[in-house]
Amino acid sequence: MLADTAALTAAVRRAVDETVITDVHTHLFPPSHDDLLLWGADEILTYHYLVAELFTVAPRELTCERFWSLPKREQADWVWRELFLKRGALSEACRGAITTFNALGLDVAGRDLDGIRRWFASQTAEEHLRRVFETAHIDRAVMTNNPFNAAEADLLARDLPCPDCLMGALRIDPLLVSFPEALEAMGRAGYDVAGGETAKTLDQARRFLVDWSKRIDPVYFAASLGPDFAYPDETLRTRVIDEAVLPAAEEVGVPFAMMIGVRKAVNPALGDGGDGVGVADVAAVMHLLQRHPDAKFLVTMLSRVNQHELCVLARKFGRLHVFGCWWFCNDPSIIDEITRQRLELLGTAFTCQHSDARVLDQLIYKWSHTRAVVADILCCKYLDLWAAGWRPTEEEVRRDVRAIFGGAFDEFLAK
């Protein structure tokens, strides 16, 4: 038994620092997929968070067209000069790059970008993946594998080596947001989809998902959806969900993960950094739960406005697991608010964060920064519990911390 509140807060901080995390959603790839696995200084500095920030302050002569025409090293030089040297690197994305370089033992205080680049050049992808996972204290991370993308499908079909720390997830966006693209991909793979939007075609789509699941053993199916996502409606998307996606997911025995609220290409000139955010209708998730009583759903939403309603919905349906502070919600102030709300409404039956990392090194800062915020929150919550008369043990604290860092996710998958 913990003796007093000082021992309690020390136990909480120790548990948060030492707990091994499962990252339930990333965009990473195994080293065997070569250039698809992004890592290193220039990838960190040219990630779209920082590119979008660059163009809030870029001089007039640096147009988007000119920027994208430059070699990646020169793009990174622009970001470094404008966001780190000319201005205080106060944004979360800038601080994240600094946290990452520093955690790897690199001379960020000395502004030695050339030295940082030399260090990365001396590493191998395999060694670096192991180092990053150890530094971030992560046991496993879920990838995003898109069989509708020809290049990815070719690599996946070759059964290339993949370390045990990386798990697959089947990305199915084209089925829901670009059906002609999905038809083309399925046709290339030999599925009979010549009839277009027919029941036979939708059954072929179901078979496509099941067949790919047998190949990559996904943890879940996943799709990123806009703020206009509605269910049910009169569009083809409702039929695709009802007749292909959910039947396949239930046949395979996996949840359907939905990331809802991204407004695509608000400023197309920024590339991946040009997407925005919109308030979605949580009722679409509610209707899915009501109409499909045997299906399980993982949901994260991009707008801060949607978080409370989503939490309340998760109290009503045990088949809904809320996860992560996604993208524009991945800022300490918003993580703090959302995580407190979820603890107050859901206890530990949620996953507090996912990295959404596209660059391997981002695992370091995203989890380091999240641990710091969550430790403060949990200290407050356990002190409230202490004041109410409960006396948590250190073992109970460790159990609860692991739950919101991946344990509750594992339990949800096992249901």
**CA–CA distance from 406 to each of 19, 294, 328, 350 (Å)?**
10, 23, 21, 9
Do residues 151 and 169 make contact, with C-beta atoms less than 8 angstroms apart? no
pLDDT single digits (tens) 56-93: 999 999 999 999 999 999 999 999 999 999 999 999 99
- How many CB atoms are closer than 10 A to CB 74? 12
Q: Where are the beta strands (DSSP E) in 50-156?
A: 138-142
Mean local confidence (pLDDT), 306-322: 98
pLDDT single digits (tens) 40-60: 999 999 999 999 999 999 999
Do residues 219 and 413 make contact, with C-beta atoms less than 8 angstroms apart? yes
* Rounded Cα gap, residues 326 and 148, in angstroms: 23
Question: What are the structure tokens assigned to 41, written together?
Answer: 């200084």
CA angle 30, 34, 38 (to 5 degrees): 75
Mean local confidence (pLDDT), 329-350: 98
Q: Kindly report the backbone phi and psi dihedral angles of residue 345, in degrees, each rounded to the nearest multiple of 5, phi listed first.
A: -100, -30
The average confidence (pLDDT) of the chain is 97
Mean local confidence (pLDDT), 390-400: 97
pLDDT single digits (tens) 209-246: 999 999 999 999 999 999 999 999 999 999 999 999 99
Residue ranges per structural domain of the chain: 5-414
Q: Choose among 134, 210, 195: nearest CA to 165.
A: 134
Res 189: pLDDT: 96
36-39 own/partner pairs: CB under 8 Å, 24+ apart: 36/151, 36/152, 36/155, 37/125, 37/129, 37/360, 38/358, 38/359, 38/360, 39/120, 39/125, 39/128, 39/129, 39/132, 39/359, 39/360, 39/361
CATH of 5-414, one of 3.20.20.140, 3.60.10.10, 3.40.50.10490, 1.10.10.10: 3.20.20.140
Checking if the pLDDT of 198 tops 90, the result is: yes
Res 196: pLDDT: 84
pLDDT single digits (tens) 113-153: 999 999 999 999 999 999 999 999 999 999 999 999 999 99
Checking if the pLDDT of 30 tops 90, the result is: yes
Helices (H), 122-245: 125-136, 150-157, 173-177, 179-188, 199-216, 236-240
* Rounded Cα gap, residues 318 and 307, in angstroms: 17
- How many CB atoms are closer than 10 A to CB 191? 17
Mean local confidence (pLDDT), 306-335: 98
Checking if the pLDDT of 305 tops 90, the result is: yes
Q: How many residues does the chain have?
A: 415
Do residues 139 and 20 make contact, with C-beta atoms less than 8 angstroms apart? yes
Tell me the Ramachandran region of residue 38: left when phi exceeds 0, alpha when psi lies from -120 to 50, beta otherwise: beta
Do residues 302 and 329 make contact, with C-beta atoms less than 8 angstroms apart? yes
pLDDT single digits (tens) 372-388: 999 999 999 999 999 99
Do residues 302 and 311 make contact, with C-beta atoms less than 8 angstroms apart? no
Checking if the pLDDT of 1 tops 90, the result is: no
Res 83: pLDDT: 98
